[in-house]
Amino acid sequence: MEVSVIKKHLTTIILFALLLILSIWSLFVGVLDVELSGLLQGDSEHLEVFLISRLPRLLAILCTGIGMSVAGLIMQQLCMNKFVSPTTGATISSAQFGILLALLFMPNSTLWGRAVFSFVFAVLGTWIFVWFIQRIQFKDVVMVPLVGIMFGNVIGGITNYLAYKYEITQALSTWLVGHFSMVLRGRYEIVWLTVPLVVLAFLFANHFNIVGMGKDFSQNLGVPYNFVLFLGLTIAAMITASVVVVVGSISYIGLIVPNLVAMFKGDKIRGTLIDTALFGALFVLVCDMVGRMVIFPYELPIELIVGIIGSVLFVALLLYRLRHGRKAIRLNRKEGGVA
């Protein structure tokens, strides 16, 4: 009994252990030397660096990784399409558009003011996108993300145009390329919003699963289709927006992480949500550490590292799927568990 429980949750445990080790390691990577002995002795300088910069950064990374991958998972389930994500569903570009408008109309707005704008527009953008793909009649598996990408390009184009016109391209670029180097105590706390949102997503996981099976099916089971659909999209958009406001845009995590996890664990959200969240956090953490070490003592924004690693992974995933269909990879199932 004990053994089987451990075996069942083996991947989760391994992921958690890896994440823990790397998290602790990442706290000690940086330009200023922070040592454990210094922290334990209460050296004020070490403690300050640790509390103002390193720890917030780690927390922001974890929240980003968990949030973006869960947002991607929800959107993929609800849209019945494996290639939808905050990037390919225009959520990120809408959030950026919201920030731009906040900068334009309320130049003195606080981070919270911008966050509100960003929330509203991210939610609106995602709703409009889903409304679009429900209205246009061709539900080709690849056409949906293509429409999303072009929709995102249009919003991005308008954003760029306005930024160009009012000469705030430079101010905006902070939110266009995601990076963690500005994450300091006092200006990153919005990203904590992802935690209650992810919990909410976990509570509704089974509902999302059912809605993902189609309108008729969910109504037969007594699940209010439209309500759950819009609830799920709103959660995903809010998570994305709170990440974009603090960190900037980070593409691909919501796309790749859920797909990779689903290849091993299948499509049931309750079963994969925790693994997806852990793996997402791990992925972002590794990418961020790579970015911090490549041109030490300078650092590369995480968006670039994710962009490079992520797109290679994504293309590989696509080609794999094309060859093998939607079959999941089965591990250690020699005893006749061919699915």
Options 28, 112, 161, 217; binder of another protein; rule CB under 8 A: 161
Window of 25-33, 95-103, 222-230, 311-319 that interacts with another protein by CB under 8 A: 311-319
User: Judged by CB under 8 A, does residue 296 bind another protein?
Assistant: no
List CB contacts of 148: < 8 A, sequence separation 6 or more. 84, 88, 89, 90, 129, 133
User: Judged by CB under 8 A, does residue 320 bind another protein?
Assistant: no
Query: What are the start-end ranges of the E strands in 78-180?
Result: none
User: Judged by CB under 8 A, does residue 322 bind another protein?
Assistant: yes
The phi-psi region of residue 80 (left if phi > 0; otherwise alpha if psi is between -120 and 50; otherwise beta) is: left
Question: With contact defined as beta carbons under 8 Å apart, do 156 and 93 qualify?
Answer: yes
> 122 or 163: whose CB is closer to another protein?
163
* Nearest approach, Cβ of residue 251 and another protein (Å): 6
User: Judged by CB under 8 A, does residue 138 bind another protein?
Assistant: yes
Options 36, 106, 146, 329; binder of another protein; rule CB under 8 A: 146
Binding to another protein in span 98-137, by CB under 8 A: 132, 135-137
* Nearest approach, Cβ of residue 74 and another protein (Å): 21
The CA dihedral of 272, 277, 282, 287, to the nearest 10 degrees, is 110
User: Among 129, 252, 273, which Cα is nearest to 200's?
Assistant: 273
* Nearest approach, Cβ of residue 75 and another protein (Å): 16
Window of 33-41, 161-169, 228-236, 330-338 that interacts with another protein by CB under 8 A: 161-169
Tokens of 73: 């998972």
226-252 CB burial, b ≥16 within 10 A, e <16: eebbbbbbbbbbbbbbbbbbbbbbbbb
Q: How many CB atoms within 10 Å of residue 101?
A: 17
User: Judged by CB under 8 A, does residue 160 bind another protein?
Assistant: yes
**Which residues here bind another protein, judged by CB under 8 A?**
83, 132, 135-138, 140, 142-143, 145-147, 149-151, 153-154, 157-158, 160-161, 164-165, 177, 251-252, 295, 300-301, 303-304, 306-308, 311-312, 314-315, 318-319, 322
